[in-house]
Structure 1
Amino acid sequence: MLILPRFSFLIIAALIGSIAPASQAADIKVTVGTGGKGGYYFHVGDLICKSFDRETNGYKCRAKPTDGPTENLPKLQSGKFDIVVARSDWAKQALEGGGYFQSKGPNPALRSLFSIHSEPLTIVARKDAGIYTAGDLTGKRVRLGRSATHLVKQIPSSAKWDVSSFQTVKPNDMKAQYSALCAGKIDAVAAVVGYPSGLIQKTAHTCPIHLVNLSGQPIDKLIAGSDALSKETIPANAYTGITAPTKSFGYKAVFLSSAEFSDEDVYAFVKFTFESLSELGHEHPALSSLQPSEMIRDSLPAPMHPGAVRYYREQGWIK
């Protein structure tokens, strides 16, 4: 009987371990930067991530609550996050090194995966204020959220576009503006916000309101000149008393990654998301009416990630 030295058993054991089945390999970790715990970005990112983790073999996905794009986009660039959620205008700034990211410089490695729920410019007017289109805002007392200021003042409504009575207010002051609207102290409030907004719904229960339609050739031209903007429609009955759809435009929440993140891993994440849209939509209203054709087309300022392109080509959605 041949007796092998003790170290021979150790070598054999090591060799056996090195050819263990792939299923025993460590799962690939995917970290997703989202937003504050109380907001859409965290809830949507967390839902998709947990579902991807549970239903896809070989991956462990964790969604992280964050301070939003000012944390997400730099951490994506540094490799601390694999995927992030950010509004399309912030993504455009990061890509080009503009706005908040001017001091940090452009991030040419930023890549788009898909867009999700919209955040349209929503102009809420008191019903008796006589404001039905953007042109009717001229000379009115309008209060603007910070994100709305840039959009409203870009609307080329007329050569006599008078914005002297428009005022930008801080985020913490927006609740007071809706109260002032119902009290007759101002005529309209403009905000970039996903629907349904709890604050706007509360206002609709307090006084009769009207949502201002924003459409036409000048606005189409504005949208055509920006990768971050897209047409949006606030559906009928999103708010009490608003029984017709309201045309508008604005931004979308976008899932983004870096060019350095593996094509295979992006492909797996994108494939799971699109093939689970129906189930995910039952879990969160922001995902309930998404259309793939819009998700891969609208408000995507960064080039598409090759892993996402591969899946979209397989589906025949792009060439």
Structure 2
Amino acid sequence: MKLLKHIFASSAILLTLAVSSAHADDNPINIPSGPFGTGSNALSGAMEQISKKTDAKVKVVAAESPGLVFNLKQLKADPGSKPETLTPYTSGLAYLAENGLKPFDEPTPAPKLMATYLLGSVWLATLDENIKEPKDLVGKRVGLGRPPQILWTIEPELIIKHGWGLDGQIDIEYLGTKQAAQALLDGTVDAAIIGGYADPINKTFKASPQTLTVVGSGKTLYHIPWGEEAVEKTIAAGVGINKITIPEGAIDGVTADMPGFFDPIAWGAYPEMPEETAYQITKMIIENVGTFKEYHALGQLMSRESLAYGVDPSKIHPGALRAYKEAGLK
């Protein structure tokens, strides 16, 4: 716990420095982008580059952070930074925050949507052909992301608890996304969290950077499906995730359609962000959505139609909603 507090404190300092630097450069918008190796980190970095290389009226600065949960807690603790902060978040995270459910100690406001950029879906994989189903993981070491990561740690833990009923029976190690993948290759864990991102419009799927590292090792990979029933039980327990089917051939070793879950991942901002600022940022994203793929392969999953896909207008920042209406997307 002392180590976590030290990490959070150090990250808070880094984020504060990033915001201070932003003020020195025409007051750009800060994005605490999440841990290195995640889609949020990669695409937030891409947005920073796009904002610098276009005639966008608002510039952004992306800085690595411990995770999306940390971001929301930090913004609640420092509300003065809300007008100039754009934060990645997910639908599942918003549900947990607003209802004060773990890992939140009390109800915490969730941001309003600016733009959805990915549907995140993760699962467990192993190099041990004898591990085929959940019960085979009892007593085994499983590498997940960092504790604050909603998609790569918190939601998988909730499925293990509510869906599999194996809470406390698996040795969970909180390593980080990149570190968990490497631990699997090194043999220091028996299974690790991997996954990727889907495009709801074009029905395509791409593996995350650390998953590509595992796949590229040449080692035979075996996948452990969450199972449709387990996902349904987890949803029934109040976790804000949705069912998805990972298609056969999505990555090496997925030899049949695999039932799993997804959580929409988006950039969000609080109502404290001026409407004109939110409008200009969203307009920049809409006009340059096809450019994200030039900075990272995950950008291929982004499209104009997916940016506010399936989102109720009441959950969209007023400035962003104006940009979507202007573009004919809402």
TM-score using structure 2 length: 0.66
SS at match of 2:109: coil
* Structure 1 match to 2:64: 65
Aligned counterparts of 2:121 and 2:101: Cα–Cα separation in 1 = 22
Letter in 2 for 1:152: I
Q: CA deviation at 1:278?
A: 1.4
Match of 2:266 among 233, 254, 259: 254
Letter in 2 for 1:205: S
Match of 2:159 among 148, 151, 154: 151
* Structure 2 match to 1:51: 50
Q: CA deviation at 1:256?
A: 1.3
* Structure 1 match to 2:31: 32
Classify 1:93/1:192 alpha carbon distance in 2 versus 1 (closer, same or farther; 3 Å).
Answer: farther
* Structure 1 residue ranges without an equivalent (≥5): 1-25
Aligned counterparts of 1:29 and 1:163: Cα–Cα separation in 2 = 44
Aligned counterparts of 2:110 and 2:131: Cα–Cα separation in 1 = 47
8 Å CA contact 1:121–1:151 kept in 2: the answer is no
TM-score using structure 1 length: 0.68
- Mapping of 1:65-214 within 5 angstroms? 65-77=64-76, 78-80=79-81, 81-102=84-105, 105-108=106-109, 110-126=111-127, 128-129=129-130, 131=132, 136-141=133-138, 142-144=140-142, 145=144, 146-147=153-154, 148-155=156-163, 165-171=169-175, 174=180, 175-177=182-184, 179-180=186-187, 186=190, 189-191=191-193, 193-194=195-196, 195-198=207-210, 201-202=213-214, 205=217, 207-214=219-226
8 Å CA contact 1:32–1:45 kept in 2: the answer is yes
Identity %: 18
Classify 1:231/1:284 alpha carbon distance in 2 versus 1 (closer, same or farther; 3 Å).
Answer: farther
Match of 1:229 among 218, 241, 249: 241
Letter in 2 for 1:138: K
Q: CA deviation at 1:305?
A: 1.3
Letter in 2 for 1:112: L
Q: CA deviation at 1:48?
A: 0.8
Larger radius of gyration: 1
* Greater shift in the superposed pair: 72-81 or 261-270: 72-81
Aligned counterparts of 1:269 and 1:163: Cα–Cα separation in 2 = 42
* Greater shift in the superposed pair: 305-314 or 243-252: 243-252
Classify 1:250/1:75 alpha carbon distance in 2 versus 1 (closer, same or farther; 3 Å).
Answer: same
CA distances 1:268-314 after superposition (whole Å, capped 9, x unpaired): 211221231211123212221234554424799x9221222233334
Kindly tell me the number of residue pairs found equivalent between the two proteins.
277
* Structure 2 residue ranges without an equivalent (≥5): 1-24, 145-152, 197-206
